[in-house]
Amino acid sequence: MTNIKINDSNFKNLIDKFHAKFDNVVENLDIELYDSICIDIFDKTVSFKNCNFKGARIDFYQDDSTTVKLIDLIGTKQQKEHKTFLKFENCTFSNDLIIKDCLLREIVFSNVKITSKLFHIASSSINSISFNGSPDNYNSIENLVIHDIEDNKTYFDFRLNKIKDLTISKAFFYQSWINKNEIGLINIDNTKFESNFDLYNNTISKKCFIQRCQFNKIDIKRTFFDLGIEFNDSSFQDKALFESPSNLIRSELSFLNVNFGSQVSFEKTSMFFLKFESVFFKEIVSFQNVECEYIKLDKIHFDKVGFFNDLLIKSPEKCSLSTIRTIKNQLNKTENKIDYLKFNAIEMNLLIKDKNTSKSDLVLLILNKNSSDYGTNWAKGIWFTLKNSLFFFIVLLFVNNFLKSDYPLCINTKNDFADFGFTLNYFLKFVFNLGLNDTEIQSNGWLYLIFIFAKILIGYGIYQTIQAFRKYGK
């Protein structure tokens, strides 16, 4: 069906003729606005279907005399009833669209295309704000600003939309659903979410900023953040769930000056960088099976305990010492000895690179690393012991070539070689004998000095091997 073309004055006259007692429908119109126009919907309910708006800016509002939000009766406040609604179905807007100073029961955008540079819903009291496309026809929106929504029972339903920028500020929502959308940027400021805030199955291409907000219960699941999301100066009163796969090359999940009043879960979250600064966790928090390139924990308080089981940090060398020690402390509280030893090894590696580490400590750290990876690798401990045993045994034989002693073995290619059993016997005596009563070793001071120095390293290697074997012990 071909749309009928009308101009701004005819459109205004059409709306003025509508009656408050009817569900007024405007359909199949091409509305071209030559001058900016303000439409007072008064107490009328209006639905737009298959309409195209273009040209100058259009403002929908309600006269102040009909939009008194609170009436003071004998010291008590009662909210004025929301009767009217605005609906847009299969409509397009290429002009600027402002909806302001309204008292609405509902505002609905369904299967719309809005390319307006300015699209604002502001300074209103609205029971329900709905942007719902369909699986085969997403709403297409250039940008949307929702500002100063005062009704504390507002439901915000945002599903199946393609939008570049979504900005919400100074709003009060009861329940919010942002599901199955393709979003460029989300920016939420100074907003309170009284009940649930759900962010499911979205793809978000730019970094999102949420600041000065109050959440009750928040669920973020299966949302792909290409660049990440940052929460700043916000609080969470009830359970908080953050379980989202994201871009492991560049995405960032940040919490700055945030309080969590109940249980928190980041389980199975994948991010390039996790950042927590000045964060308070009142209840249990779980980082189990989290995957990231690196993580920063600074000025973090766990009132109870944090679970870091199976946390995978791909580049632990980028983490700070304080971060690793914080994780170690929580692993110790949860008696996770295996992961504790893993992060202990990370801490030791960071200390090796730390300029403040003393030379004596540095020597011990290097020995611990090379002997058994700080008590975590028993195979490396055995290899360290055998390697040093063989090295010093060969040194002893070589030095014995140039000394007068009673030791029967030396490295001398001119004479016959000793048989393998005879050499093995003396090698094992070299490794496991203290040599206190060995007159052959003690027959020359240089041989005995090499022997004693070798015994120190061999004994150290055996000790480190035993420690590594106790990795799974209590």
Can you give 99-126 as a three-state secondary structure string? Answer: EECCEEEEEEEECCEECCCCEEEEEEEE
User: Is the pLDDT at 393 greater than 60, yes or no?
Assistant: yes
Burial class (CB in 10 A: 0-12, 13-18, 19+), 212: middle
Please answer whether residues 291 and 267 qualify as being in contact, where contact means their C-beta atoms are separated by less than 8 angstroms: no
> Torsion angle, CA of 163/164/169/174, rounded to 10 degrees?
20
User: Is the pLDDT at 424 greater than 90, yes or no?
Assistant: no
**464 pLDDT tier (thresholds 50, 70, 90):** confident
∠ CA 359-318-202 to the nearest 5 degrees? 165
Kindly state the average pLDDT of the residues 171-183.
96
User: Is the pLDDT at 410 greater than 80, yes or no?
Assistant: no
pLDDT at 404: 78
- % of the chain surpassing 70 pLDDT: 92
- Range of lowest pLDDT (46-60, 241-255, 296-310, 434-448): 434-448
User: Is the pLDDT at 335 greater than 50, yes or no?
Assistant: yes
pLDDT at 405: 77
User: Is the pLDDT at 17 greater than 50, yes or no?
Assistant: yes
What backbone torsions phi and psi does residue 24 show, to the nearest 5 degrees? -85, 130
C-alpha–C-alpha distance, residues 172 and 393, integer Å: 79
User: Is the pLDDT at 440 greater than 90, yes or no?
Assistant: no
Instruction: Decide which of 250 and 232 is more confident.
Output: 232
325: three-class secondary structure by DSSP: helix
At 340-363, the pLDDT tens digits run: 989 999 999 999 998 888 888 888
Instruction: Decide which of 380 and 319 is more confident.
Output: 319
pLDDT at 234: 97
pLDDT at 394: 86
Kindly state the average pLDDT of the residues 373-377.
83
**296 pLDDT tier (thresholds 50, 70, 90):** very high
User: Is the pLDDT at 67 greater than 60, yes or no?
Assistant: no
The per-residue pLDDT of the chain, averaged, comes to: 89
pLDDT at 125: 93
**392 pLDDT tier (thresholds 50, 70, 90):** confident
C-alpha–C-alpha distance, residues 366 and 98, integer Å: 67
C-alpha–C-alpha distance, residues 317 and 339, integer Å: 17
Kindly state the average pLDDT of the residues 308-337.
95
User: Is the pLDDT at 80 greater than 60, yes or no?
Assistant: no
**140 pLDDT tier (thresholds 50, 70, 90):** very high
C-alpha–C-alpha distance, residues 430 and 276, integer Å: 54
Kindly state the average pLDDT of the residues 376-385.
88
pLDDT at 433: 75
Please answer whether residues 351 and 321 qualify as being in contact, where contact means their C-beta atoms are separated by less than 8 angstroms: yes
Instruction: Decide which of 413 and 277 is more confident.
Output: 277
Kindly state the average pLDDT of the residues 118-132.
96
pLDDT at 401: 79
387: three-class secondary structure by DSSP: helix
∠ CA 253-257-262 to the nearest 5 degrees? 80
C-alpha–C-alpha distance, residues 406 and 208, integer Å: 79
- % of the chain surpassing 90 pLDDT: 63
